[in-house]
Chain A
Amino acid sequence: MKKLTTLILVLLVVLVAVPFTSAQDNTLILGRAVDATGLDPHTQTAFASLRLLELIYEPLVTTDQDLNLIPVLATDWSFSDDGLTLTFNLREGVTFHDGSAFTAEDVIATFERILDEETASAAATNYASIESMEAPDDLTVVFTLSTPDAPIVSAMASTNAVILSSDVIASEDPALVTVGTGPFMLENWTPDDSTSLTANPDWWGEGPFVDGIEIRIIPDEASILAALRAGTIDFALLNDPLVATLLIGDDSIDLYRTPTLSYNVLQLRAAVEPLDILEVRQAISCAIDRQEVIDTAALGEGVVTGPLTMASFALPTDELFCYEKNLDMARELLATAGMEDGFTLPVIVANAEPPTASSIAQNIQSQLAEIGITVEIESLEFGTYVDRWLGGDFTAAVALNGGRIDPYTMYSRYWQVDARFQETAGYLDDTLDQLMKAGQAETDEAARYEIFAEFQQHLAETSPWIWLYSGYTYTAAQPYVTGWTPNASDALYFLSAVQVDK
């Protein structure tokens, strides 16, 4: 009898609880393969983390579909004539998720945190010219710069520069407490399983039009595709061109293909023998048909790229050193270096992130075999790969690195003295360092273009890295999901404009 009573009680609880736990109809269910690795927006570098955090936090400015800067928490900004003072007017009536008001004090606390070495912020190099900050009133911030810094505003269009609440910075750990100003609020994060976000009812912008977003981690992209087709998810992020291209010609699912600023690259560490010899690196560059890499590894889904991927600065690749495969030249270069018998080149690669990495490595292996270079592929679990990449503990690496709308911001962490990832880059010369410094200080558009044209040619010729191609990112949605505009900087921020009408 007692058992029966317990049973009935349990059943009652289940019956009552079920309607509350099931997802509401107007919640966007989003599937993706990789989960965030952490929640502190200033230190996270993994794409997977940024995709979550950009829903919760907002920077001062961001980029629109055409990569133009648009205001977010700032309404407008201006440089003084000498380029040493940068003033931001801030948006009025913005509140954090905890209800506190957004003021200039939060902006100052945020950038103090980013510049604090103890934070180990991912993008600190980009704001190194900030000398001091002050707030004449609650909605104005004035940055005083040590040197003219043209790209600093576009550098702020980054999830690594989102504004945190000064209260949280003072008394909490931003890796644990997520209080942003963004369109969605984090309700629950179960790592590698699911994340629930609810709409921020007090968001300053127009929207969000859904009640919330439920992110489901489905580790295999083929399974994400199956879930889309079965209708169990509304929206999906896809990275694997092999999977995404299956949706081309499928009328029941909308596929959005967006060119990206990120680039696939074979990083050579010139600090390691025999890659310290210029001709050896150049030979590798000349021996690789980049289009073949795209055709085999990504089924043709990508475009050959030089060091710069943004249309406003990128040189045509035929103006770059050895972008046409030339085996004779490659062999000659190896002979000049005294390496005509070839050598063994160990290459690290992450086993599934991005999904094309292993295939890129295999095609390069096959191509370099033609000039006698034996590529030894070391396939690593993603976490191990990132550790070794950050520590510069490799000879060569196949990598997918993020791009920015400004060339200085894109490479400041690699190609200058004291750059954060100098060890990972593995190469530096005076010309590179000077070009970067000149590109940062120069404000004239045409002059900057010239500086970065030389920068690209210099990088291609010294070949510290072999730039391969830029791929696409794919988002896929059910036809009843409307209002989505994919963005080249991959930002999910614009999910705030999406409507779901099942």
Chain B
Amino acid sequence: MAAENTVTLALRPTWRTLAANFWKERGAVIGGVIIAFFLVVGLLGLIGLTPYPVVEQHAIDRLSAPDSTYLFGTDQFGRDVASRVMKGTANSLQVALLSVAISTLAGTALGSISGYVGGLLDNVIMRLMDIIFAFPGLLLALLIVTILGPGLDNTILAISIVYTPIFARVARGQVISVKEKDYVLAARALGKRDWMILVRHILPNIASVMIVQVTLALSWALITEAGLSFLGLGTQQPEPSLGLMLSSNRALAEIAPWLILYPGGAIMLMVLGFNLLGDGLRDLLDPQGRGR
């Protein structure tokens, strides 16, 4: 048992080797570049550095195909699609990042307390998580948004709730696997308080696994946000969101394909980016997967 632990610990990469190895993991690099690109685009959209104001209507130029004036064309109101894709990207990323941040915090806290304390509390928390987890993600998100009403804040809340259990589960499993390790026992023998042990000794050791989970959850959150907006329950018109652009323009796809192509492409690329990054990080951080 002890020997096994030593082996595992020796193989666990340090943050420094991780950074060095990252550049060798091609998928992760590509994913990272894609995400970085969209973060910049989204940021520009957020601070309003778009070619045109996102809700400005140029009725005369409605439904014009992509050209030098309107890079991605215009919609039926003559609104610039490029600007709307930029702001839509910002809105989508904002929802994804915020909701995953909330579910990471909540899930990790619940899961690690559950795993560390054990017993009845563990049972209560995890069964509660199981109940949430039993619902398909989009369905539960739909239910929550229907009850709370549509809008950006409620979408964030809904997605946070939906993805909390997965973080709780992962965190709990990890905490259980490290809480009997020698360094934890040592810390406990030294009389450190439980919460200090959790925060100082356990959390840093499960962080790498959580990071992989975060990147994967970001791609799901993006898709869920797009789905909710597509159904009219997320971002509300005239504020753009990628999913909403798809649903409100799908009737026009035949005569104005650019209305679907660009927002759809943006969603696809961002999800691809997060998945590549997540997969790459997993390979990088998973001790068992080293040296393939």
Contacts and interface: CB of A to CB of B under 8 A. Distances in A.
A500 interface: no
A379 interface: yes
Nearest to B57: A366
A366 B255 contact: no
Contacts of B78: 296
B232 A221 contact: no
A234 interface: no
Contact of A363 (B77, B251, B254, B255): B77
A222 B248 CA distance: 12
Contact of B77 (A242, A352, A359): A359
Contacts of B252: 242
Interface string A230-242: 0000000000101
B155 to A, nearest CB: 14
Interface string A362-386: 1101100000000001010000000
Contacts of A361: 237
B62 A296 contact: yes
B238 interface: yes
B139 interface: no
B143 interface: no
Given A221-B251, A222-B250, A242-B252, A296 B236 contact: no
B196 interface: no
A352 B230 CA distance: 13
A299 B55 contact: no
A246 interface: yes
A314 interface: no
Contact of B59 (A240, A295, A358): A295
Contacts of B236: 377, 379
A351 interface: yes
A304 to B, nearest CB: 15
A366 B77 contact: yes
Nearest to A367: B57
Contacts of B238: 362, 365-366, 377
A366 B237 contact: no
B50 interface: no
Contacts of A276: none
A494 to B, nearest CB: 28
B251 A351 contact: no
Range for the number of chain A residues in contact with chain B: 20 to 34
Contact of B76 (A299, A351, A377, A379): A299
Contacts of A240: 251
Chain B binding surface SS class? loop
A292 B59 contact: yes
A481 interface: no
B55 A246 contact: no
Nearest to A291: B59
A417 interface: no
A351 B232 contact: yes
A295 to B, nearest CB: 6
Nearest to B55: A366
Interface string B56-81: 11010011000000000000111000
Interface string B248-275: 1011101100000000000000000000
A335 B268 CA distance: 50
A242 B236 CA distance: 20
Contacts of B77: 296, 359, 362-363, 366
Contacts of A377: 236-238
B272 to A, nearest CB: 27
Contacts of B250: 222
A358 B255 contact: no
Greatest chain A CB density within 10 A among B77, B78, B232 is at B77
A379 B236 CA distance: 8
B62 A362 contact: no
Contact of B251 (A242, A296, A366): A242
A303 interface: no
Contacts of A352: 232
A221 B237 CA distance: 20
Contacts of A246: 251, 254-255
A358 B251 contact: no
A355 B251 CA distance: 11
Nearest to B150: A379
Contacts of A222: 250-251
A243 interface: yes
B251 to A, nearest CB: 4
Greatest chain B CB density within 10 A among A221, A361, A363 is at A363
B148 to A, nearest CB: 14
Nearest to B236: A379
Interface string B229-254: 00010001110000000001011101
A169 B250 CA distance: 46
B183 to A, nearest CB: 56
A362 B78 CA distance: 12
B76 A358 contact: no
Given A296-B78, A361-B237, 8 more contacts: A242-B76, A297-B76, A299-B76, A352-B232, A359-B77, A363-B57, A363-B77, A379-B150
14 contacts: A221-B251, A242-B76, A292-B59, A296-B57, A296-B59, A296-B77, A297-B76, A351-B232, A352-B232, A355-B251, A362-B77, A362-B238, A365-B55, A379-B232
Interface of B: 55-57, 59, 62-63, 76-78, 150, 232, 236-238, 248, 250-252, 254-255
